[in-house]
């Protein structure tokens, strides 16, 4: 038997014990996770610097998300796991109806590389809170972070409750062949489909946290300078390797030129403040690997070949895995960049005249993970919110909806994902919401009118119920 299979079976063996563990026992383990993270925080900063050239404060941002989830879950778990009585209807009269949240069993977590610590722990906190055992396979594209995450988890939790295995596609495929009860996947659509198909073999439920092309709408009333600052930050942060990053702008034609000039100025002001050039700036992170650097460069080259114009940036340096923060205009639908998620610091600019054109442009693409609206007109914001679909939306800002507030469930819709992460919703996602009915056995409450031969009284009652 392979090591992976035997470890999986050990986790299966612990599921009943974990299912019946108390809120206090579970929160003690969350605390142990946090302490182990704090012990290794400097190593995580160093790994982030080596892998993506990000600053310690960027990784600390991920740790804060994790802490917010641990604190919120620890505070509320006793309440969440308490059986919840629900009201009766005519059909359950005299009975006691309740919902209990039970663990699903063993959960597989497959995170992406762009925020490895948050993507490992946020689902894991919900899985542990719900009483599951868990297997994590960190992304092979961030191996330094992956090893530290393994050390943290193996230090904090017993071997039959959590198992971290390193590896790439082959290991992921071996894991996907096992009868997990739930698979939690963060990554691109192509692998998302593989995960969903594999889950079907065992009827495992899935959470798919994917991405897509998140649009930004700038209407003619928007505060352009304010919007430009936020869009420039959202697009260049983590070198664009952010699932909710603004991918393309649809600006009203009357302000489009002014807006693009503002974004260009802001990209320079925020990321080239020392005037040493963007490539030398310590605030412009690197793309995770050569393959993704080439892929992003390929998207830009294809767009330029098909008539796109560079408003800002456009440079790259393969050897340094560097893509210059870039703004492109004159976009057309036949460009690959208008169909594929860039996941890099390249912003495309489109324009519109009538509001309905914005709706059509967004509807041409699969449902995005996020949608951003910049306007000072609340009727305009409502129009765009009600006529589009996305996993989340923000008015007059971007990216702030992810990870900052455990009261806001996070996730996608359609091609950008399914299921929700974080807070109570994350706990429910990884629980079996079990409905339980208790039938008292006294003669007043224990009656079964529905037995054949059907009485006139029973038939009359059901038929009357339909007419109502």
Min CB(141)–ligand NAD separation in Å: 6
In the shown chain, the binding pattern of residues 218 to 237 toward ligand NAD, with x for contact by CB under 6 A and - for none, equals: --------------------
105 versus 411: smaller Cβ distance to ligand NAD: 411
Q: Is there binding between residue 351 and ligand NAD (CB under 6 A)?
A: no
CB of 118 to ligand NAD, least distance (A): 8
Q: Does 173 bind ligand NAD (CB under 6 A)?
A: yes
Is there binding between residue 187 and ligand NAD (CB under 6 A)?
yes
Site membership for ligand NAD, residue 206 (CB under 6 A): no
Q: Which of 119, 161, 209, 324 is catalytic?
A: 209
Torsion of CA 214, 215, 221, 223, to 10 degrees: 50
What is the nearest approach in angstroms of ligand NAD to the Cβ of residue 83? 31
In whole angstroms, what is the distance from residue 421 CA to residue 409 CA?
6
Task: Return the range that interacts with ligand NAD (CB under 6 A); candidates 22-30, 39-47, 123-131, 167-175.
Answer: 167-175
Neighbours of 95 (CB within 10 A): 13
Spatial distance between the Cα atoms of 397 and 302, rounded to a whole number of angstroms: 30
Q: Which is nearer to ligand NAD, 131 or 406 (CB)?
A: 406
Question: Distance between CA atoms of 26 and 78, rounded to whole angstroms?
Answer: 10
Q: What is the distance between the alpha carbons of residues 156 and 151, in angstroms, rounded to a whole number?
A: 9
Among this protein's residues, is 209 annotated catalytic?
yes
By DSSP bridging, strand 96-103 and strand 84-86 are antiparallel
Among 77, 243, 250, 428, which residue interacts with ligand NAD (rule: CB under 6 A)?
243
Cα–Cα dist 121/109, whole Å: 9
* Closest approach of ligand NAD to the CB of residue 151, in Å: 18
Among 113, 271, 372, 424, binds ligand NAD (CB under 6 A): 113
Least separation in angstroms between residue 172's CB and ligand NAD is 3
Catalytic residue among 51, 150, 161, 243: 243
> Where do we find the tokens 């003669």?
443
Answer yes or no whether residue 215 interacts with ligand NAD by CB under 6 A: no
Binders of ligand NAD among residues 82 to 111 (CB under 6 A) are 110
Q: Which stretch binds ligand NAD (CB under 6 A): 4-12, 45-53, 98-106, 166-174?
A: 166-174
CB of 241 closer than 8 Å to CB of 287 = yes
Residues 190-227 as b/e (b if ≥16 CB within 10 A, e otherwise) read ebbebbeebbeeeebbbbbbbbbbbbbbbbbebebeeb
H or E stretch including 108? strand 106-110
Instruction: Indicate whether 28 belongs to the interface with ligand NAD (CB under 6 A).
Output: no
Q: Which stretch binds ligand NAD (CB under 6 A): 41-49, 169-177, 229-237, 452-460?
A: 169-177
Q: Can residue 341 be called a binding residue for ligand NAD (CB under 6 A)? A: yes
Among 146, 186, 141, 144, residue whose Cα is nearest residue 166: 146
CB 390 within 8 A of CB 371: yes
211 binds ligand NAD (CB under 6 A): yes
Tell which positions 131-160 bind ligand NAD, by CB under 6 A. 137, 139-141
Percentages helix, strand, coil for the chain (3-state, rounded to 5) are: 45, 20, 35
**Residue 313 or 412 having the CB closest to ligand NAD:** 412
Taking a C-beta distance cutoff of 8 angstroms, is the pair 344, 241 a contact? Answer: yes
What residue is closest to ligand NAD based on CB? Answer: 211
Is residue 373 within 8 Å of residue 386, measured between CB atoms? no
Q: Binding ligand NAD by CB under 6 A: which of 15, 21, 114, 351?
A: 114
What is the token pair recorded at 286? 């690197």
Task: With CA atoms as reference, report the closest residue to 243 among 148, 113, 68.
Answer: 113
DSSP string, 112-125: -SSSHHHHHHHHHH
Cβ atoms of 237 and 343 within 8 Å: the answer is no
Contacts to ligand NAD by CB under 6 A = 110, 112-114, 119, 137, 139-141, 168-169, 172-173, 176, 186-188, 191, 194, 209-211, 243, 341, 343, 369, 412, 417
Q: Which residues are identified as catalytic?
A: 209, 243
């Amino acid at each position: 038997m392979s090591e992976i299979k035997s470890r999986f079976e050990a986790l299966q063996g612990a599921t009943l014990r974990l299912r019946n563990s108390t809120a206090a026992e579970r929160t003690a383990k969350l605390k142990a996770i946090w302490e182990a993270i704090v012990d290794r925080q400097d190593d995580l900063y160093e790994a982030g610097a080596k892998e993506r050239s990000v600053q310690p404060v960027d990784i600390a941002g991920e740790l804060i998300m994790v802490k917010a989830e641990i604190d919120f879950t620890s505070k509320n778990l006793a309440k969440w796991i308490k059986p919840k009585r629900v009201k009766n209807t005519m059909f359950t009269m005299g009975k006691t109806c309740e919902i209990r949240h039970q663990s699903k069993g063993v959960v597989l977590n497959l995170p992406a590389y762009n925020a490895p610590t948050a993507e490992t722990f946020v689902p894991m906190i919900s899985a542990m809170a719900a009483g599951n055992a868990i297997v994590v396979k960190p992304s092979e594209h961030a191996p330094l972070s992956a090893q530290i995450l393994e050390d943290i988890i193996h230090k904090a939790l017993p071997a039959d409750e959590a198992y971290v295995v390193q590896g790439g596609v082959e290991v992921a495929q071996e894991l996907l062949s096992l009868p997990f009860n739930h698979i939690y996947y963060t990554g691109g659509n192509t692998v998302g489909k593989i995960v969903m198909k594999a889950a079907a073999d065992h009827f495992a439920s899935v959470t798919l946290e994917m991405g897509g092309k998140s649009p930004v709408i700038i209407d003619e009333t928007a505060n352009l300078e304010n919007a430009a600052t936020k869009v420039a930050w959202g697009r260049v942060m983590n070198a664009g390797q952010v699932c909710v990053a603004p991918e393309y702008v649809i600006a009203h034609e009357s302000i489009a030129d002014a807006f693009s000039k503002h974004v260009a100025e802001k990209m320079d002001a925020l990321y080239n403040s020392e005037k040493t050039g963007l490539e030398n700036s310590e605030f412009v992170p690197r793309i995770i690997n050569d393959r993704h650097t080439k892929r992003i460069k390929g998207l830009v080259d294809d767009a330029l070949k098909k008539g796109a114009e560079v408003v800002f940036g456009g440079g790259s340096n393969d050897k340094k895995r560097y893509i210059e923060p870039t703004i492109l205009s004159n976009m057309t639908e036949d460009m690959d960049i208008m169909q594929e998620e860039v996941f890099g610091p390249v912003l495309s600019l489109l324009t519109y005249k009538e509001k309905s054109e914005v709706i059509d442009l967004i509807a041409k693409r699969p449902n995005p993970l996020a949608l951003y609206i910049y306007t000072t007109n609340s009727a305009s914001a409502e129009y765009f919110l009600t006529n589009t679909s996305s996993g989340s939306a923000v008015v007059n800002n971007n990216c702030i909806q992810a990870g900052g507030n455990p009261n806001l469930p996070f996730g996608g819709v359609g091609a950008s994902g399914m299921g929700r992460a974080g807070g109570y919703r994350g706990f429910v996602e990884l629980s079996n919401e079990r409905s339980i009915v208790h039938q008292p056995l006294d003669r007043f409450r224990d009656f079964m009118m529905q037995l054949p031969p059907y009485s006139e009284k029973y038939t009359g009652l059901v038929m009357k119920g339909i007419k109502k």
